[in-house]
Structures are given as C-alpha cells and as structure tokens.
Amino acid sequence: MNEADALELLRAGILAVILGSAPAVIAALIVGLTVSLFQALTQIQESTLSFAPKIVAVALALLVASPFIGSQILSFSERVQIHIEQGFR
C-alpha cells in the first residue's frame, strides 16, 4: 500500500462518515429551523420545545435511513478489506 492508496482510503472514509451522518444532520436542521421559526413567531422561549422534537426527528431519521447507513459502512469496509488484501500480497 502506497501513499495514494492511503489517501484514497482516507477520502473514502471521510465520505462515508459524511454520507452516514447526513440523514440525522438534515433532520435536525429542518426541525431546528422549523421550531426556531415557530418560537420567533409566537415568542415562546421554552428550551425543551427546541430540544425534544429534534431528538424525535433524529431518532426517526436514523430508523428510516439505517439501511442506507449500513450500506455505506459495508461498502467502506469492503473497500478497506480489498486494499488490505492487495497490500499484503
């Protein structure tokens, strides 16, 4: 394994982390903006109002997107295994 292979694995790992975390981050972003807009319009400044819906939305997003996240992890693991096998030959 040379430097190019190591950089390719690093790039693939970072991409897998970004793609794997995207559903939860996007769900938290959408719910956070919606709740923030609601709080600004109604002037209700309750801290649990911004926290509880985000937890529920992130949990649902992870539940729905778990096959996608698992496929990203599996794809990256297979790529690492291939590079390890080729590096030890």
pLDDT of residue 5: 78
Tell me the average pLDDT across 4-27.
92
CA distance 10 to 56: 32
pLDDT of residue 43: 86
Task: Share the mean pLDDT of the chain.
Answer: 89
pLDDT band at 6 (very low <50, low <70, confident <90, very high): confident
| pLDDT tens, position by position, 75-84 | 999 999 988 8
Residues 6 or more apart from 83 whose CB is under 8 A from it? Answer: 1, 5, 8, 9
pLDDT of residue 47: 77
